[in-house]
Structure 1
Amino acid sequence: MTRPSTLVSSIIATALIVALTPPVVRGSDPWPAPYKTYAQIESEILAVEVANPDIVDVQSIGSSYEGRQLYVVKISDNVLIDEGEPEVLIDALHHGNEHVTVAQALDTIAALVDGYATDPSIANLVDSTVTWVVVAMNPDGLDYDLSVAGGLNWRKNRQPIPRSTSIGTDLNRNYSAYWRCCSVTVRNPASRMYAGPARFSAPESRALRDFVISRAFGGTQRIAIYLSLHAAGRYVAWPIFPRAAGIPVMTIDDRMTMNELVAGMAARNNYRAERYSPTGGTSTDWMHYTYKVPSILMEIGEYTRAVSRFYPSAEAMAAEVAGNRPAILWLIGQAACPADAAGLAVRRCGPRFDDFERAAGWVVNPDGTDTATSGRFERGDPARVRIGRRTMQLGDAASGYRALVTGALAGRYANSYDLDGVTTARSPQITLGADPGNLVFNASFSYGSTATSADWFRVWVEAEDGTRTLVHQRLAASRYRWAAYTEVRVSLARWANQSVRVVIGAGDVGRPSLVEVAVDDVRVERR
């Protein structure tokens, strides 16, 4: 990200008088009032930064196809310092004709900035959370839409399509998750919902992708909640990924968390609470699929089939924006523990939770001493391995569908991909408090009748100085043990106020034998 260029004196002067409030009716206002051009949006957010430098920082995350800067507004105390606080990302105007989303984004900035000095609850939000607001994802489409009085009802960006006379990609069909999955119209360059010639082919969607990537540290995504503003329909919704969609990435915890966040918003703005199946290439699909971040869509304003729904009156815009403000502020307040709304705080909101549904910074063979020739640890969807009617490797995870397993595949024989040798995996660093919760995980350790006590499954806690303490061990015996998950709980009290790592290991080092290990839902619980 880069800082915007030096502000001209006219913007500095504007800083003292600008107010990011919904538009008001002025009968003499020329088109495009009450809708804002991108130059107006840019002037307003830069002016707010000048007037509030302690809590507002405007950054460029890239450029649109036509070269307009794509700005994100950061709001937080000590705004120029990365304090590691939970973050919320809000974006607006993926579609150039959805002007009410701009008003909502600007209102969110104003509510946080203006309320910081006057409202203790808002001051607490700003002090404890980072809020990022992208006011206009599609500035080219916005200005083109407003270039003719009455509006052009232009949805896409303004990027030419290779080998076509059509212009524009629907930015909210251009993300990688389920890209082009769900409708033939997204493959037609002339369609208003054209998904583009490739995933992230639009510079605007790439810019948001790269910004989100920049907020991941040590295998953990700092953005805790994502809200994408659209129009219209008067509902808030979360994406559900059924197995029929291709890749089932959702756990029960995910569903409960997003359902309760959406319900909480709907209770505050009187919108409908809904869920939706993937529509293909949307930002909310991508965000949850990639980072497991609760991702919420809000459709602002009354839905009709008329084009006029994209051009509401100033009064209608102001009413919708004001009505949504409590819901958005409440959502920002959930960033410290999004799962708390679903009653999952102990399980999900401690210093670490890994369900292995996405890459989260675990390192296989961290010491470079593993000897496994097959069956080394991998994060995968395990295939069921049987001997007769008995299961040696479960065909599922403890939650979701991925786990840390010794050889996820199933071959012709039961031992085709089982562990041979020693394999280890180490977690990212985990910072513990003065009274840390327990280390909890689910594990399956199975073996054949030729196994011996030389074959093992072990878990260590690695202290800051690199020393490791064995906290859990299972040894094999010369009999069959079938696959089954069991929960293990380990006290971390001796490592209070330290940063630790969890190391998981498995060994098949005795005589040739069948050994399989699976680990899932590794977490340090919240006190």
Structure 2
Amino acid sequence: MRLRNRRDRRVAAALALGIALAVAAPLTAGASQPGRSPAAADPEAVGQYEIRSKSAPSERSAIAATGVSIDEVKPDKLVVSADRSQARELRTLGHELKPLPAPSREPSASAAKVFDFPSADAGYHNYAEATAEIDRLVAAHSAIMHKQVIGKSYEGRDIVAVKVSDNPASDEDEPEVLLTHHQHAREHLTVEMALYLLREFGDDYGKDSRITQAVAGREIWILPDLNPDGGEYDIATGSYRMWRKNTQPNRGSSHRGTDMNRNWDYRWGCCNGSSTSPRDDTYRGAAPESAPEVKVVADFVRGRVVDGKQQITAGIDFHTYSELVLWPYGFTTGDTAPGMTRDDRDAFAAVGRKMAASNGYKPMQSSDLYVTDGSIDDWLWGDQKVFGYTFEMYPSSNRDGGFYPPDEVIERETSRNRDAVLQLIESADCMYRSIGKEQQYCAD
């Protein structure tokens, strides 16, 4: 019934969407063609390539320094997203690249599918559908949910936070947990993760003891979509474009977009873990928090400081793909660094490994993959002392859909994280309990 209603709404919106497409300004990444690497058709379009390599983190960091995004790391190979120029640079550096097929979902012939997912993936929610579903859930569970608009994207779309608590209109003295989704445009499964969590909290409150206790004892902030502009651009043709960044223009360049997860204001641009070129997928922006969406969320987090104390104690930033649980730091390969003691690191690792044991992901420090700088997890800990994790969701491999897994897996792969999310919520009052040091760090 839900899918039928959604199709009806799409047909009703077809004319407006068609007009919007006609006037939309093209960006620099071209639309994907089924069965072909986009970069093979358009020198500025992004395609995926396989690099056969038993690489070490230092070699992967060198590859990332060319401006490509590393999408998958396996013992004997890497998968990267690159345009033709970047692929040529990697070959010059001695890497052998195998082009991978572009996402294979065929666009619909119907104008109603413009600015929407391919018909085969109708189970995914575009921005309008996700907004309607959030509003429906908040209205149905108003006793424990409150939605607020915390700011606007570059193109003027709402960035919202939904507070889940047994007293959502009150600011109680309870640990707060931050759950963020969809920094990278092509990672649409993360929006479905947010909608799943809202449904679980709403439907199971008062019925499931863990959910009830989590809502009663914590203030949970769910931010379903940090990059609505990029997400809409990625599906603007009714097919997939492999877009990663937001869509803001870059002064002096025809290339739009900033990689939001390289734009946070902690060790920004410090360590060769992001790009200075607006062309690149990992472009870090002109300055820290130059991406308006990053500034909105950072201001929101800073606004949770009450009487000099940050109320948010832990969080998860959801991404795809690779099935990983990651913790900071990303800017350094050292387990400890200024601002990260051995006990801090051990608590991060203990909780991270326990969550990974639940959802079947692989746990590791972020820089064990490759060096990044300006990431949300590094900022949350380094600037705000929030235990921030990244979950790289399903699949583990490009072979199972990469950034575009079929909609049939949505329920299975979102519910897979239920226990892990609840573990973090339950640990949020004292993360050091995981290493037996609650008396040292958490005693009143």
1:445 paired residue number: none
2:215 corresponds to 1:126: yes
Tell me, what secondary structure is at the counterpart of 2:325?
strand
Separation in structure 2 between the aligned mates of residue 217 and residue 185 of structure 1, nearest angstrom: 33
Which stretch has the larger CA shift, 259-268 or 181-190? 181-190
Contact 1:195–1:281 (Cα < 8 Å) also in 2: yes
2:311 paired residue number: 222
2:374 paired residue number: 281
2:403 corresponds to 1:313: no
2:228 corresponds to 1:139: yes
1:416 paired residue number: none
- 4+ aligned runs moved over 4 Å, structure 1: 241-247
Match of 2:434 among 335, 341, 346: 341
2:190 corresponds to 1:101: yes
Match of 1:298 among 391, 396, 403: 391
Q: Which has the higher helix share?
A: 2
1:56 paired residue number: 145
Contact 1:31–1:149 (Cα < 8 Å) also in 2: no
Separation in structure 2 between the aligned mates of residue 121 and residue 246 of structure 1, nearest angstrom: 34
Check 1:162–1:315 CA distance in 2 against 1; reply closer, same or farther (3 A cut).
Answer: same
Q: TM-score, normalised by structure 1?
A: 0.59
Contact 2:273–2:373 (Cα < 8 Å) also in 1: no
Separation in structure 1 between the aligned mates of residue 180 and residue 272 of structure 2, nearest angstrom: 25
Contact 1:116–1:123 (Cα < 8 Å) also in 2: yes
Alpha-carbon deviation of 1:286? Answer: 0.5
1:189 paired residue number: 278
Separation in structure 1 between the aligned mates of residue 404 and residue 275 of structure 2, nearest angstrom: 25
Separation in structure 2 between the aligned mates of residue 309 and residue 244 of structure 1, nearest angstrom: 30
Give unpaired runs (5+ residues) of structure 1.
Answer: 1-9, 15-27, 352-527
Contact 1:153–1:307 (Cα < 8 Å) also in 2: no
Alpha-carbon deviation of 1:306? Answer: 6.6
Separation in structure 1 between the aligned mates of residue 173 and residue 390 of structure 2, nearest angstrom: 25
Check 1:242–1:79 CA distance in 2 against 1; reply closer, same or farther (3 A cut).
Answer: same
Alpha-carbon deviation of 1:31? Answer: 6.2
1:200 paired residue number: 289
Contact 1:230–1:300 (Cα < 8 Å) also in 2: yes
Separation in structure 1 between the aligned mates of residue 343 and residue 361 of structure 2, nearest angstrom: 24
Separation in structure 1 between the aligned mates of residue 424 and residue 210 of structure 2, nearest angstrom: 13
Match of 1:38 among 127, 131, 143: 127
Separation in structure 2 between the aligned mates of residue 61 and residue 161 of structure 1, nearest angstrom: 24
2:262 corresponds to 1:169: no
Separation in structure 2 between the aligned mates of residue 71 and residue 113 of structure 1, nearest angstrom: 17
Separation in structure 2 between the aligned mates of residue 350 and residue 224 of structure 1, nearest angstrom: 15
Q: TM-score, normalised by structure 2?
A: 0.70
What is the CA RMSD across the aligned residues, in angstroms?
A: 2.3
Alpha-carbon deviation of 1:152? Answer: 0.8
Check 1:273–1:184 CA distance in 2 against 1; reply closer, same or farther (3 A cut).
Answer: closer
2:243 corresponds to 1:150: no
Alpha-carbon deviation of 1:42? Answer: 0.9
Give runs of aligned pairs for residues 125-524 of structure 1, distance below 5 A: 125-183=214-272, 186-240=275-329, 242=332, 248-277=338-367, 278-305=371-398, 308-351=401-444
Alpha-carbon deviation of 1:182? Answer: 3.3
Separation in structure 2 between the aligned mates of residue 132 and residue 270 of structure 1, nearest angstrom: 25
Separation in structure 2 between the aligned mates of residue 225 and residue 49 of structure 1, nearest angstrom: 23
Larger Rg: 1
Check 1:339–1:189 CA distance in 2 against 1; reply closer, same or farther (3 A cut).
Answer: same
Tell me, what secondary structure is at the counterpart of 1:333?
helix
Tell me, what secondary structure is at the counterpart of 1:326?
helix
Separation in structure 1 between the aligned mates of residue 272 and residue 363 of structure 2, nearest angstrom: 24
Tell me, what secondary structure is at the counterpart of 2:221?
strand
1:478 paired residue number: none
Alpha-carbon deviation of 1:165? Answer: 0.6
Contact 1:56–1:79 (Cα < 8 Å) also in 2: yes
Separation in structure 1 between the aligned mates of residue 165 and residue 219 of structure 2, nearest angstrom: 5
Separation in structure 2 between the aligned mates of residue 62 and residue 174 of structure 1, nearest angstrom: 17
Residues 431-459 of structure 1: per-residue CA shift (max 9 Å, x gap)? xxxxxxxxxxxxxxxxxxxxxxxxxxxxx
Q: Which has the higher strand share?
A: 1
Separation in structure 2 between the aligned mates of residue 167 and residue 31 of structure 1, nearest angstrom: 29
Contact 2:395–2:401 (Cα < 8 Å) also in 1: no
Q: Which has the higher relative contact order, 1 or 2, with Cα contacts under 8 A spaced 6 or more apart?
A: 2
Q: What fraction of aligned residue pairs are identical, expressed as a percent?
A: 36
Give unpaired runs (5+ residues) of structure 2.
Answer: 10-107, 109-117
Separation in structure 2 between the aligned mates of residue 74 and residue 327 of structure 1, nearest angstrom: 19
Separation in structure 2 between the aligned mates of residue 179 and residue 191 of structure 1, nearest angstrom: 16
Alpha-carbon deviation of 1:308? Answer: 3.8
Contact 2:185–2:244 (Cα < 8 Å) also in 1: yes
2:111 paired residue number: none
Alpha-carbon deviation of 1:316? Answer: 2.6
Contact 1:73–1:133 (Cα < 8 Å) also in 2: yes
